[in-house]
A and B are shown apart, each in its own frame.
Chain A
Amino acid sequence: MKGLKKNIDKIKPQFEEGGRFSKLQSVFDGFYTFLFTPNETGKTGVHIHDSNDSKRAMITVVIALLPCCLFGMWNIGLQHYMAIGSPDRDLFTLFFYGFFAVLPQIFTAYIVGLGIEFIVAQIRHEEIQEGFLVSGILIPMICPVDTPSWMLAIAVAFAVIFAKEVFGGTGYNFLNVALVTRAFLFFSYPSKMSGDHVFVKLGGQPGIDSFSGATPLGQLAAQTEPSAVVTNVVGDPLSYTDIFLGLYPGSWGETSCLCIFIGMAILLLSGVANWRIIISGLLGGFLMALVAHNWQSPLYPCTYLQPLEQLGLGGFLFAITFMATDPVTACRTRTGQYIYGALIGIIAILIRCYNTGYPEGAMLAVLLMNCFAPLIDYCVVNANIRKRMRRLTVRNI
Chain B
Amino acid sequence: MSKVIKIKKGLDIPLTGRATDQKEKDTVTRRFGLIPDDFPGYKWKVSVKAGDSVKAGDPLLYAKEDESVRIVSPASGTVTDIHRGERRKIEYVEVEGTAGVGEVTLPANANREAVLTLLKECGLFAMMRQRPFDMVPFMPQTPRDIFVTAFDTAPLAASMLDFVDRHHLEKGLEILGILTDGKVYLSVPTGSGIESRAAEVYEFEGPHPAGNVGTQIAAIAPVDKGDVVWTLDALTAARIGRLFATGKLDFITAVALTGPEVEKPHMVETAIGACIESLVKGQLKNDGLHKRIISGNVLTGERIKDMNGFLRYPYRQITVIEEGDDADEFMGWASMNPRKYSVHHTFPTFLKGLGKGFHFDARVRGGHRAMIMSNEYDKVFPMDIYPEYLIKAIMAKDIDRMEKLGIYEVAPEDFALAEFVDTSKLELQKIVRDGLLYLRQETI
Contact = CB atoms under 8 A, between A and B. Distances in A.
Interface in B342-391: 342-347, 360-375, 378, 384-386, 388-389
A271 B369 contact: no
A41 B342 contact: no
A332 B375 contact: yes
A47 B368 CA distance: 15
Given A52-B347, A172-B370, A389-B404, A36 B333 contact: no
Main SS of the interface on chain B?
loop
Given A41-B363, A127-B367, A391 B222 contact: yes
A51 B340 contact: yes
Contacts of A168: 370
Contact of A41 (B292, B419, B428): B292
Q: Which of A37, A171, A172, A269 has the most CB of B within 10 A?
A: A37
A42 interface: yes
Given A42-B362, A47-B303, A384-B385, A269 B345 contact: yes
Contacts of B368: 127
Given A39-B363, A51-B342, A5 B429 contact: no
Contacts of B343: 50, 52
Given A47-B299, A50-B421, A172-B370, A37 B346 contact: no
B43 interface: no
B374 A46 contact: no
Contact of A271 (B334, B345, B430): B345
B11 to A, nearest CB: 10
A123 interface: no
Contact of B374 (A4, A55, A327): A327
A49 B425 CA distance: 8
Contacts of A50: 341-344, 365, 420-423
A382 to B, nearest CB: 9
Q: Which of A168, A170, A385 has the most CB of B within 10 A?
A: A385
Contacts of A49: 363-366, 420, 422, 425
Interface residues of B, number: 75
A45 B341 CA distance: 19
Contacts of B335: 51
Contacts of A385: 404-405
Interface stretch (B78-86, B234-242, B318-326): B318-326
B375 A37 contact: no
Given A46-B416, A51-B347, A384-B386, A57 B341 contact: no
Contacts of A330: 374
Contacts of A269: 345
Interface in A48-65: 48-57, 59-60
Nearest to A271: B345
A170 B328 contact: no
A33 to B, nearest CB: 6
Given A39-B325, A59-B334, A274 B375 contact: yes
B361 A48 contact: yes
A7 to B, nearest CB: 13
A42 B365 CA distance: 9
A51 B429 contact: no
A46 B429 contact: yes
A397 interface: no
B144 to A, nearest CB: 9
14 contacts: A38-B366, A40-B363, A41-B292, A44-B427, A47-B301, A48-B360, A49-B425, A51-B340, A51-B342, A52-B423, A54-B369, A56-B333, A392-B224, A392-B226
